Amino acid sequence: MVEFNVAVVGAGYVGLTTAACLASLGHRVVCADVNLAKLDGLSHGETTIREPGLRELVVNGLETGRLRFVLGAAAAASGADVVFVCVPTPMGRDGAADLTTLETVVAELRDVLPPGCVVVNKSTVPVGTAVRTAELLGRADVAVVSNPEFLREGSAVEDFLNPDRIVIGSEVPEAAGRVAALYELLGAPVLRTGPASAEIIKYASNSYLATRLSFVNAIAELCEHMGADIDDVRKGMGFDRRIGMSFLRPGPGWGGSCLPKDTRALLRSAEAVGCEFPILHAAIVTNVRQQELVVDRVRQAVGGRLAGVRVGLLGLTFKAGTDDLRDSPALVIAERLATEGAELLGYDPGVPSPVPGMTDRIRLMETAYHAASGAAALILLTEWPEFRDLDWERIADLLAGRTVVDTRNLLDPFVLNKAGLAHWCVGRPAPQDLAKDHSTA
Ligand SMILES: NC(=O)C1=CN([C@@H]2O[C@H](COP(=O)(O)OP(=O)(O)OC[C@H]3O[C@@H](n4cnc5c(N)ncnc54)[C@H](O)[C@@H]3O)[C@@H](O)[C@H]2O)C=CC1
Ligand SMILES: O=C(O)[C@H]1O[C@H](OP(=O)(O)OP(=O)(O)OC[C@H]2O[C@@H](n3ccc(=O)[nH]c3=O)[C@H](O)[C@@H]2O)[C@H](O)[C@@H](O)[C@@H]1O
């Protein structure tokens, strides 16, 4: 295998994972960021994000000398054969991707890139960004390649090292070949395309996943009205090999740092070329509705009015296995409940203390039991497996009300019923006692 000198700009979920994994594959990697505190920690083998296996790879990279951390893109570029750009591309005010940071990095790199180096956009960027990056660089000797990343938070290292596919978009065969060679040891299928196709593949994939979930959540709502059970229905669908089992779990709506922003960005890109894309629009609207349905359900569980009512929240992150709160449906739902006057006690095993950006409308508690204490209803919002093993008899004693709203269908109905609790799931009819209460209300 050829060993390359690699620069990675951005030490976040994608950049740090890319840097640490490429170092573990034998490349010499310099990873740049602008956050001094983060760089200082990383240089001592401390990772700030919760990703299984990442810390070990960083420590190993530092020990073997294959991984270094530096301040700023320019400092990383010296001597690089390939420069990966992994900086944020957040949602701009109009829904389109905001490329300001990417453009800043490209400007910093322009005059310092070694001759013949390849710049790789790994950030999620709209169609045309590879071409625009090449224009901004203004370097005939430097090729730009689009190489979108498909890792998931919570399994970033595992996904990076075992990808379903590697997409390499470039008009320059030598540049595409160099990027493919970097990944050679992974033995993954490599799809070579033009840059526009590579860029749209990333948005199409995330938007398809989001649309699939909105579809499932809509079917779950039908199940509630029709006496069916979504967990049977999704299995019955998933056994069809054309459909498959994955990404069919109903929930409180999809969230995270990417699905919401990428669906909106694709919609804006479509509008810009005069396409309406109604199915994607419907997926986004359905997701907002899904969160509203949870709020409706909580309101119903506490007897119609949330003002002054204490509600316990189990889980705040956008999914289990991550400490990331960005665009978490749990926080959107919490905000709505707080706006109606509910007092919120929250617990999340991934969030031991308040973090910047977290709403101050939730009192963060030390345990699930503290979050349940005196609550009129308990809402499970993130599917942390440990919630299943809580002492539900004890929770029943601590709660002021009887209802547990399980937005992930995680808990064992038998255990909850034995504890005397009404277990309200997504995509199953409401518990009998609640349905009765409601009909006489
Ligand atoms: N988080 C995820 O699971 C995935 C994210 N993506 C895409 O990858 C890109 C990066 O996302 P994340 O890694 O989640 O972001 P992040 O927010 O976790 O990390 C970004 C890093 O870039 C650094 N940074 C900001 N400006 C910089 C500059 N001028 N020079 C050097 N470093 C700078 C920040 O300090 C931060 O450490 C986005 O386009 C995202 O859509 C793609 C696949 C998966
Ligand atoms: O571009 C990105 O950032 C990444 O976005 C997602 O990864 P991630 O955001 O880590 O989260 P997912 O595991 O996809 O979950 C997204 C949301 O869908 C929800 N979900 C997922 C699966 C499911 O069956 N049901 C369900 O409600 C999750 O709870 C979560 O809120 C994609 O899965 C990755 O391939 C992609 O690289």
For atom 19 of ligand 1, the residue with the nearest CA is 12
Q: In this model, does residue 304 exceed pLDDT 70? A: yes
Model confidence over 65-118: pLDDT tens digits? 999 999 999 999 999 999 999 999 999 989 999 999 999 999 999 999 999 999
Spatial separation of the C-alpha atoms in residues 151 and 130, rounded to whole Å: 21
Spatial separation of the C-alpha atoms in residues 16 and 160, rounded to whole Å: 11
Ligand 1 pocket at CB < 6 A: 9-15, 32-35, 38, 73, 86-89, 101, 104-105, 123-124, 149, 151, 153, 257-258
pLDDT for residue 360: 82
Beta strands 143-146 and 118-121 are parallel
Dihedral (Cα; 78, 84, 85, 88), 10-degree rounding: -130
Backbone angles phi and psi of 242, in degrees to 5: -70, -20
For atom 11 of ligand 2, the residue with the nearest CA is 152
Q: What HEC string does the chain produce?
A: CCCCEEEEECCCHHHHHHHHHHHHCCCEEEEEECCHHHHHHHHCCCCCCCCCCHHHHHHHHHHHCCEEEEECHHHHHCCCCEEEECCCCCECCCCCECCHHHHHHHHHHHCCCCCCCEEEECCCCCCCHHHHHHHHHCCCCCEEEECCCCCCCCCHHHHHHCCCCEEEECCCHHHHHHHHHHCHHHCCCEEEECHHHHHHHHHHHHHHHHHHHHHHHHHHHHHHHHCCCHHHHHHHHHCCCCCCCCCCCCCCCCCCCCHHHHHHHHHHHHHHCCCCCHHHHHHHHHHHHHHHHHHHHHHHHCCCCCCCCEEEEECCCCCCCCCCCCCCHHHHHHHHHHHCCCEEEEECCCCCCCCCCCCCCEEECCCHHHHHCCCCEEEECCCCHHHHHCCHHHHHHHCCCCEEEECCCCCCHHHHHHCCCEEEECCCCCCHHHHHHHHHC
Ligand 2 pocket at CB < 6 A: 124, 149-153, 206, 209, 213, 247-249, 251, 254-259, 318-319
Model confidence over 267-293: pLDDT tens digits? 999 999 999 999 999 999 999 999 999
Spatial separation of the C-alpha atoms in residues 167 and 195, rounded to whole Å: 10
Q: Could you tell me which of 14, 90, 89, 8 has the C-alpha nearest to residue 51?
A: 14
Please identify, by atom number, the ligand 2 atom nearest to the C-alpha of residue 153. 10
Q: For a pLDDT cut of 90, what percent of the chain falls above it? A: 93
For atom 35 of ligand 2, the residue with the nearest CA is 150
Q: Could you tell me which of 365, 384, 385, 387 has the C-alpha nearest to residue 374?
A: 365
Integer angstrom CA distances of residue 394 from 194, 309, 352, 390: 59, 21, 22, 8
Spatial separation of the C-alpha atoms in residues 160 and 8, rounded to whole Å: 15
Q: Which CATH number fits domain 5-193: 3.30.70.1560, 3.20.20.70, 3.30.390.30, 3.40.50.720?
A: 3.40.50.720
Q: Could you tell me which of 426, 391, 430 has the C-alpha nearest to residue 409?
A: 426
pLDDT for residue 435: 47
Model confidence over 119-172: pLDDT tens digits? 999 999 999 999 999 999 999 999 999 999 999 999 999 999 999 999 999 999
Quick one: tokens of 400?
């002021």
Question: Is 258 a catalytic site residue?
Answer: yes
Integer angstrom CA distances of residue 1 from 29, 65, 120, 252, 267: 16, 18, 20, 46, 41
Please identify, by atom number, the ligand 1 atom nearest to the C-alpha of residue 124. 39
Spatial separation of the C-alpha atoms in residues 251 and 280, rounded to whole Å: 19
- Report the pLDDT averaged over residues 377-405: 97
Spatial separation of the C-alpha atoms in residues 190 and 63, rounded to whole Å: 31
Burial call 398-412: b when 16+ CB within 10 Å, e when fewer: bbebbbbbbbbbbbe
Model confidence over 306-359: pLDDT tens digits? 999 999 999 999 999 999 999 999 999 999 999 999 999 999 999 988 777 677
Q: Which residues contact 41 (CB under 8 A, 6 or more apart)?
A: 47, 48
Quick one: tokens of 415?
């255990």
Spatial separation of the C-alpha atoms in residues 156 and 260, rounded to whole Å: 19
CATH class of 194-441: alpha beta
202 is annotated as contributing to ligand binding: yes
Domain map of the chain by residue range?
5-193, 194-441
341 is annotated as contributing to ligand binding: no
pTM: 0.95
Model confidence over 214-265: pLDDT tens digits? 999 999 999 999 999 999 999 999 999 999 999 999 999 999 999 999 999 9
Candidate list 21, 258, 275, 425, residue with the active-site label? 258
Instruction: Write the ipTM.
Output: 0.99
Q: Average per-residue pLDDT in the chain?
A: 95
Same fold, 5-193 and 194-441: yes
Model confidence over 31-51: pLDDT tens digits? 999 999 999 999 999 998 889
Ramachandran class of 234: left when φ > 0, alpha when ψ lies in -120 to 50, beta otherwise: alpha
Q: Which residues contact 135 (CB under 8 A, 6 or more apart)?
A: none
